[in-house]
Amino acid sequence: MSLVFESDALKLNSTAPATHVLLVACGEYPDLAKAGYGGLAPLTSPRQSVDAMANWFLSGVDGMFPSVGLPAEQAFHNPEAPLGSIEMLASPAHDYVTPLGQSKPVTRSVLINVREAYKRWLKRLGENPNSRGVFYFCGHGVGDGVDQVLIADDFGTDSEAPWTATFHVSNTCQASIRKTKATLLFLIDACMEFSPDLVFQINAPQALVDGKKSGEPLCTEWQVLRATTTNRQAYAQPNDTARFTAALLQALRGYCGQQRAGQMYFDVTAAQLREATSAFLSKMQKPGDAKWQKLGLSQGDGTWNVGIHVLTKRPSVLVELDINPVGFRPVAQVFMERNGTPRDLKTLNGGPAQFVVPRGDWTYGACAVGNLFPEKLCTDQQLSQAVVTYRFDIA
């Protein structure tokens, strides 16, 4: 068992509401060639990505205790469901070093290990409806046109039956929502590209846990957030965090949240997270890019208004300003201002200018050195989304 974190509170009371996290990364795939997929190189981004996810969860007040953790806009925080446990399976399976500098052994993400870890995760979540479960996967995935199948690291080890080292996402979700009352969030950073090899398998990939797909679900709030849409791929730079995971983490770092009535708490719900992640994912790419990636269709039940993470200050907004035509950039400046704060001016020499500001009522504009063009203004704009881009047209 590669439990990289278990809270003291959970050790005293295993049924207390908590957030339980299961992180899985598959990158090495040493037996792909045996299964006839030798042209595929190992993936380097899953291990980077899973470490980044673990770091975000563990850098907060719960993970760093008794040291002071990072604030909620930089790391996990949820007073209603504090961090209870994190189990990590990965390949390569070298030790994970926590933000506190502790080295933790990590189990290799072969299917049998993933299955066992998943059962333990569900057991920890138990029947407490106030608990939250986060399942994260980064690695190879395929689609059958509708459903997604994820590939464990031992794919091909049994060259006669390579597809036995895979698991079915939707069926896993369906079985899970009938085993726990906790709110569940599945974060899947993998391709969904159509695979005829998958479709023509006699033995279809199974769920990670046995169980019925019928009967009344115990869990009423669950969602799958997928890195990509049906029949599409997910991308990553080598040796870097995968694109979807990077967008997700940026969204979690203070860019989304729904204010509780009369309180300075901002619940990061699955719905909020989805929207902000989508915005950052879009922001990372250039229009017309052949490798364009956008979030998959939503899947799940409920209103998705349960806080997975909770901010204690107003969420930020990433504002990107530019002018058109871009030939004016060398003489142009863009700015943001609001009542009581001085104008923040930036040049456009390096391309569009970025500002990070708290949500609220802002005015932004563009002006020129030597008044080469009249000042352009957008006044009294309520900035409430994670990313706002605006281009001033200089007629």
Give the contact letters, 8-47, x = binds to other proteins (CB under 8 A), - = no.
----------------------------xx-xxx-xxxx-
Looking at 105, 327, 330, 360, which residue binds other proteins (CB under 8 A)? 360
Give the contact letters, 235-254, x = binds to other proteins (CB under 8 A), - = no.
xxxx---x------------
Q: Smallest distance from the beta carbon of 101 to other proteins, in angstroms? A: 29
Contacting range for other proteins; rule: CB under 8 A; set: 86-94, 99-107, 123-131, 227-235: 227-235
Q: Smallest distance from the beta carbon of 16 to other proteins, in angstroms? A: 26
∠ at Cα 12 (9, 14), nearest 5°?
85
Does residue 136 bind other proteins (CB under 8 A)? no
Looking at 361, 369, 372, 374, which residue binds other proteins (CB under 8 A)? 361
Looking at 182, 234, 273, 332, which residue binds other proteins (CB under 8 A)? 234
Beta bridge pairs of residue 356? 318
Q: How many CB atoms lie within 10 A of CB 10?
A: 18
**Based on CB atoms, which residue is closest to other proteins, 287 or 350?**
287
Residue 308's identity, in one-letter code, is I
Contacting range for other proteins; rule: CB under 8 A; set: 59-67, 94-102, 128-136, 229-237: 229-237
Contacting range for other proteins; rule: CB under 8 A; set: 57-65, 68-76, 92-100, 225-233: 225-233
Torsion, Cα of 281, 353, 372, 341 (10° steps): 120
In three-state form (DSSP H/G/I as H, E/B as E, the rest C), the secondary structure along 323-362 is EECHHHHHHEEEEEEECCEEEEEEECCCCCEEEEEECEEE
Question: Nearest 5°: phi and psi at 200?
Answer: -95, 15
Looking at 15, 102, 103, 324, which residue binds other proteins (CB under 8 A)? 324
Contacting range for other proteins; rule: CB under 8 A; set: 3-11, 62-70, 83-91, 207-215: 207-215
Q: Give, in order, the Cα–Cα distances in Å from 212 to each of 114, 150, 177.
A: 20, 20, 10
Q: Among candidates 283, 295, 194, 189, which has minimal Cα distance to 242?
A: 189
**Based on CB atoms, which residue is closest to other proteins, 18 or 24?**
24
Say how far apart CA 201 and CA 185 lie, in whole Å.
Answer: 29
Does residue 282 bind other proteins (CB under 8 A)? no
Looking at 34, 314, 346, 391, which residue binds other proteins (CB under 8 A)? 314
Q: Smallest distance from the beta carbon of 242 to other proteins, in angstroms? A: 7
Give the contact letters, 68-97, x = binds to other proteins (CB under 8 A), - = no.
------------------------------
Say how far apart CA 52 and CA 88 lie, in whole Å.
Answer: 12
Looking at 102, 159, 298, 347, which residue binds other proteins (CB under 8 A)? 298
Say how far apart CA 108 and CA 112 lie, in whole Å.
Answer: 10
Does residue 359 bind other proteins (CB under 8 A)? yes
Say how far apart CA 143 and CA 355 lie, in whole Å.
Answer: 39
Say how far apart CA 293 and CA 283 lie, in whole Å.
Answer: 11
Q: Is 42 left (phi over 0), alpha (psi -120 to 50) or beta?
A: beta
Contacting range for other proteins; rule: CB under 8 A; set: 15-23, 116-124, 294-302, 326-334: 294-302
Q: Smallest distance from the beta carbon of 302 to other proteins, in angstroms? A: 7
Q: Among candidates 337, 322, 335, 345, which has minimal Cα distance to 393?
A: 322
Does residue 98 bind other proteins (CB under 8 A)? no
Site for other proteins in 142-201 (CB under 8 A): 142, 144-147, 151, 170-171, 174, 189-191, 193-197
Instruction: Say if CB 234 and CB 189 are below 8 A apart.
Output: yes
